Amino acid sequence: MANVTVQAIKELMSITGVGMMDCKRALVAADGDQDKAIEALREKGLATQAKKSGRAAAEGVVATVVNNGVGVMVEINTETDFAANTDDFKAFAASVANTIVEKNPADVDALKATTISGGDKTVDEVLTELAGMKIRENIVIRRFVRLEGTVASYVHNGGSIGVLVKMDTDIKDDAVLTVGKDVAMQSAALNPAYLKRDEVPAEVLDKEKEIMMAQMAEDPKMANKPEQVRAKIVEGKVGKYYKENCLLEQAFVKDDKVSVQEYVAAEAKKLGGSITVAEVVRFERGEGVEKKEENFADEIASMIK
C-alpha cells in the first residue's frame, strides 16, 4: 500500500472538489496514482461536484429551525429549483440546520468539517455525495446565523426568504413567539434596511438630506424658499425616511394604523410584561449571486464536446 501524503490528498481535493476522506481512500486504493484515483472518484460519481463547481448556484433554500432556545437560519444553494425541491435536498438542509444548533460551528468552513446531525460523516462529505451521486448539481452552503434566547422564525414561499427575530422579554408565554413571527413576516414582506433609527449611519442620512435639498432646488415652488425653511422641511422628510426604512417605525402590515413598535408594545402589555425586538436577520435566497444565463443549445453542445 502506497504512503499517501497530505500534499497528495490536498492536490486531489483541489482537482476534483471532493472531500478529504474520499480523496484519501481513492489514493490509497490506487497506490498513490492520481489519475487512477480521479477515475475511481468519477466512477463513484463523487467528482461530478468538481465539474459543476464553476456553475452559478443561485437557487436553493433558506431553512430555519428553533430548538431549546436556539434559532438557526441557513442558506444552501444549488443550480435549479427542481433540485432544491427534492426530498434529498430538503432533508440535507434540515440536517445542516440541526447540526448548527447542536454543534455551534464558528463559520461555514467549520460547519463543513463538523459531523452532521444524526450521522457519522462530515457535512462536507454528505454534501459531496449528494451533489455527485443524487442531485448532480453544484451545492453551496452559503451562510448561516445562530441566535440564542427567545427566537421566532418565518420562512416565506417554501424557502425563498427566511427571517429570524430575537426578542428580549420577561414573558414566558408562547404567545411571545407569535409576536416575533409577525415581526419576521413584516421583515420578509418589506425588507427594511434597518431595525431602528439608531442603526442608520450618519453618512446615509447626510446623503439623503443632500438629495432632498437638491430636489427642492429643482422644484419651482420650493427653490425660492429660505434655506432654513427648506432645512426644516428636510427634517420632516427624514422622519418619513425612518418610517420607510426602519422596521420598528414602519406601519404594521396587519394594522397600518399602528407602527411595528406600537404593535409589539401593545401585545406585551396584554401579556403582562415587556418585549424588545433585539435583532432581526433576513436571508433572501440567491441575493447577490449572479446567475449565469446560458443558451440551452450551446450548453448541450459544450457537454458533447
Domain stops at, among 102, 122, 148: 148
**70 and 106 share one domain:** yes
Residue at 76 is within a domain: yes
> 142: domain range?
59-148
**114 and 142 share one domain:** yes
pLDDT in tens, the chain (305 residues): 567 888 888 888 877 777 788 888 889 999 888 888 887 877 676 654 444 444 556 799 999 999 999 999 999 999 889 999 999 999 999 999 999 999 999 999 999 999 999 999 999 999 999 988 788 888 999 999 999 999 999 999 999 999 999 999 999 999 999 999 999 999 999 999 999 999 999 999 988 888 888 888 888 888 788 878 887 888 888 889 999 999 999 999 999 999 999 999 999 999 999 999 999 999 999 887 655 544 445 543 443 34
**39 and 68 share one domain:** no
**40 and 120 share one domain:** no
**111 and 136 share one domain:** yes
Residue at 184 is within a domain: no
Please give the tally of structural domains in the chain: 2
Residue at 21 is within a domain: yes
The CATH number linked to 36 is 1.10.8.10
Domain stops at, among 120, 148, 176: 148
Residue at 12 is within a domain: yes
**143 and 63 share one domain:** yes
Residue at 137 is within a domain: yes
CA 82/CA 242 separation, integer angstroms: 40
- Cβ–Cβ contacts within 10 Å for residue 38, how many? 20
Domain stops at, among 110, 132, 148: 148
